[in-house]
Chain A
Amino acid sequence: MAELALENITYVYGERTPFEIKALDDVSLTVREGSVTGIIGHTGSGKSTLVQLLNGLERPTSGRVLLDGKDIWEKPKEIKKIRFRVGLVMQYPEYQLFEETIRADIAFGPKNMGLSEEEINHRVKEATEFVGLDPILLDKSPFDLSGGQKRRAAIAGVMAMRPEILVLDEPAAGLDPRGRDIILKGIRDYGKKTGSTVIIVSHSMEDMATYCDDIIVMSHGKVYLSGTRDEVFAHAGKLTEVGLDVPQITRLALLLEERGIPLPHGIYTVDAALDALRSLFR
């Protein structure tokens, strides 16, 4: 398994042109091995750029991306190997499906890795299970699947490469609550069962509160807050300051606190709120 770290990363778009934009500004962070880490921030906070740096799709203007302490750009010719170790699922990944069957599409990544037929079949089966896709669908064309199923197939395509670090950009965007839960649970299971690190980029604080161990909050190209879920939600007030939506239950806790009702800090689940209120009503 591998540890991922960023060291003083700066990324500038359109350098030396009138359109120059600093997307990331001296960002340093470490992603805990084996954790599910959430990255949250507004559109334009730099989180999408960050994601593309993690597996070497983009090269930082300055600073280093370290995988197990080694700069991933040490040998630029071997960047492809890094992409197999750090798997990236882009936003709306269903638009990348191209093979005739779902099975062939999920097998595409493992095939590019040069794995044996047998290993590929095994990986396809395993990945299908992770995302909860019905095996009957494997021999169907991507066009015959619903939006949610396509999304799951596309994510399975990256999981089948069994990356040590799985990065997903908005994996649940546009899905309904049921579809969202299936996908996020599958992603968490992948991390647990393979011991891989999972990084989820999302706009939804409620999803973060439910599925992530650690949270990194980005704002204006910098890390604004980071730490374990409890640590980050202990600063719930700071999150609303940069205009992020905190979970509804956290808003309620903040409101009650304002009215002088004693509640512990950092409530972000209904259960935690229930525990706190239960003792007040006794």
Chain B
Amino acid sequence: MAEILIHAKELWCSYEEDDRRVPVLRGISLDIARGEYVAILGHNGSGKSTFAKLLNGILEPEAGELVVAGTNLASPDLTDDDIYALRREVGMVFQNPDNQLVATIVEEDVAFGPENLGVPSAEIRRRVDDALATVGMSDYAGHEPHRLSGGQKQRVAIAGLIAMMPSCMIFDESTAMLDPAGRREVIETFEKLNREQGITVLTITHYMNEAARADRVIVIDDGKILADGTPHEIFADPGRLIAAGLDVPQCTSLIHALRAEGVALEGEPITPEECADLLCRALEGKKHG
């Protein structure tokens, strides 16, 4: 097992409404290792975004343990400097692409993070150029952010984090406001970062198709962990996901429906390719059998 980056145990968090405390997270326990690609799946209001906001100190935990990149976020003597140090390690991309870009020029925005860290000028220049190249936005370095598409803006936001060299990136519903093309751009970008640079990626989403691409899926419902496993393990139980207000891949539904009618099918396909393989094998077997 690789080094643990995020450790949560019996984590509780609640918000105040009309002088009442409404619990959002009700005892979350999990460990995420360095270099993992994890999707946190849940419907709106399930607590998945709250969990994400705890991870880099935007919200404070109420009870339980939470250690992220060596910083104990549940500690009573947590200082601003600790959170500052944590945020160098754990970057976050938010939902609305318009509300996280600060500068009027793309490369100036990418430079914002390293400038805050006090990195020397020449080094910032190098990091900004590298970061823009990594997300495929070098040609837009001199553009104004408001003229970019949603997907491009999110890629600039990602470049802004890369330039700070974090070891983990959290995507808090970063694809929810994008069109399918933009969504693809963002997913492909963070998958590349995970694969090539070993950056730990945590994507918070309610799109089942996105979660299915991760190495590990954690389903959160009503502030608790409902399931935690590989996509194949998670989608093997469609009823549980539907009950949690989520979708199931159509191929998975089809296989389960066929099985219910007595067709013998081995395996849990998620993608159409896997599903086609499985069906072809079964039909082939039937011909010979």
Contact = CB atoms under 8 A, between A and B. Distances in A.
A259 B280 contact: yes
Interface string A229-254: 00000000000000101011101100
A62 B83 CA distance: 58
A270 B250 contact: yes
Interface stretch (A116-124, A128-136, A185-193, A274-282): A274-282
Given A178-B245, A261-B283, A277-B258, A173 B272 contact: no
Given A174-B176, A252-B251, A261 B257 contact: no
A147 interface: yes
Given A43-B149, A261-B279, A281-B283, A274 B258 contact: yes
A278 B250 contact: no
Contacts of B273: 255
A241 to B, nearest CB: 15
Given A176-B206, A179-B44, A261-B283, A42 B179 contact: yes
Nearest to A277: B258
A1 B128 CA distance: 58
A255 B272 contact: yes
Contacts of A259: 276, 280
B181 A248 contact: no
Given A43-B149, A248-B249, A178 B280 contact: no
Nearest to B263: A281
A264 B288 CA distance: 24
Contacts of A174: 95, 176-177
Interface in B247-288: 247, 249-251, 253-254, 257-258, 261, 263, 272-273, 275-276, 279-280, 282-283, 286
B180 interface: yes
A177 B209 CA distance: 12
A177 B245 contact: yes
Interface in B35-80: 43-45
Contacts of A206: 250
B74 to A, nearest CB: 28
A178 B276 contact: no
A91 to B, nearest CB: 10
Nearest to A170: B179
B57 to A, nearest CB: 24
Nearest to A260: B280
A42 B150 CA distance: 13
B180 A177 contact: no
Interface residues of B, number: 35
A162 interface: no
Contact of A252 (B176, B247, B275): B275
A270 B245 contact: no
Contacts of A147: 44
Nearest to B261: A278
A203 interface: yes
Contact of A249 (B44, B179, B250): B250
A249 B280 CA distance: 15
Contacts of A255: 272-273, 276
A270 B272 contact: no
A176 B177 CA distance: 12
A255 B269 CA distance: 14
A248 B250 CA distance: 6
Given A173-B177, A248-B251, A148 B44 contact: yes
B236 to A, nearest CB: 17
Contacts of A146: 44-45
B4 interface: no
B206 to A, nearest CB: 4
Interface of B: 43-45, 95, 149, 176-177, 179-182, 206, 208-209, 245-247, 249-251, 253-254, 257-258, 261, 263, 272-273, 275-276, 279-280, 282-283, 286
9 contacts: A42-B181, A178-B43, A179-B43, A245-B180, A248-B250, A252-B250, A252-B276, A270-B254, A280-B283
Interface of A: 42-43, 146-148, 173-179, 203-204, 206, 243, 245, 247-249, 251-252, 255-256, 259, 261, 270, 273-274, 277-278, 280-281
Closest 4 A/B residue pairs (Cβ):
A176-B206, A178-B245, A255-B276, A252-B272
Given A252-B254, A259-B280, 13 more contacts: A176-B246, A177-B208, A177-B245, A178-B245, A206-B250, A249-B254, A252-B251, A256-B276, A256-B280, A270-B250, A270-B257, A274-B257, A281-B286
